[in-house]
Amino acid sequence: MENKVKLHDKTFKLFIPNEQIEKAIDAVAERLNQDYAQATDEDPVILLCTLNGAVIFAAELLKRVHFPLELKACKLSSYEGTQSTGVVKTEVPLPAHLEGKRVIIVEDIVDTGNTIVAMSQLLKERKVKDARVCTMLLKKEVYKKDVKLDYVAMEIPNRFIVGFGLDYDELGRNIKDIYVLDE
Ligand code: IMP
Ligand code: MG
């Protein structure tokens, strides 16, 4: 595990080691297993992975949850560089046939919440039975929206981070620990 990494023009320092991330995911998966124990093969839960940042988190959850589920993905984006643009674009639309389904939105990180608000709105329009949010990370000081965040694996301060799926201009997703911008 390197103490510092350089991506493009910026240096990042070690922030959350992999073992600590995995422990936090164990705890969240345990809660999901309890809350969704009643799901059946006829009515599986939809695990909706938000690309690209949540892929590793979603994979780690998949290894730990035991109820019947279908894995789906979609992609909304709001970030350029290290800043939220405030405008949420749909790059890969939501999957079909969500009506009446129970959905778990799997997010890498909730920051301003613009993405999660847009996602909840889209799911409402699709008439899902229930939509909950499961995010690996939450920037608690920044998030001021009303959408309930049902499952939060870790809370972090308002800092820009990379690794474990999260990127800085597309680099850094394949780092197994989380690093923070070194300012
Ligand atoms: P929001 O719409 O402001 O909540 O931002 C959510 C999205 O922005 C996340 O799903 C990430 O893709 C990206 N994002 C937010 N904070 C960070 C960060 O610290 N590092 C990398 N990406 C981030
Ligand atoms: Mg994301």
Tens digit of each residue's pLDDT (9 = 90 or more) over 13-47: 999 999 999 999 999 999 999 999 999 999 999 99
In which band, very low, low, confident or very high, does the pLDDT at 125 lie, cut at 50, 70 and 90? very high
Q: Which of 26, 43, 108, 111 is catalytic?
A: 111
Nearest protein CA to atom 17 of ligand 1, as residue = 160
Please work out whether the CB of residue 115 comes within 6 Å of at least one atom of ligand 1: yes
Report CA(179)–ligand 1 centroid distance (Å). Answer: 14
Nearest protein CA to atom 5 of ligand 1, as residue = 111
Mean pLDDT over 113-125 rounds to 95
Tokens at 116, concatenated: 């999660």
pTM of the model: 0.96
Show the domains of the chain with their CATH numbers: 18-156 (3.40.50.2020)
Dist CA 131 CA 174 (whole Å)? 29
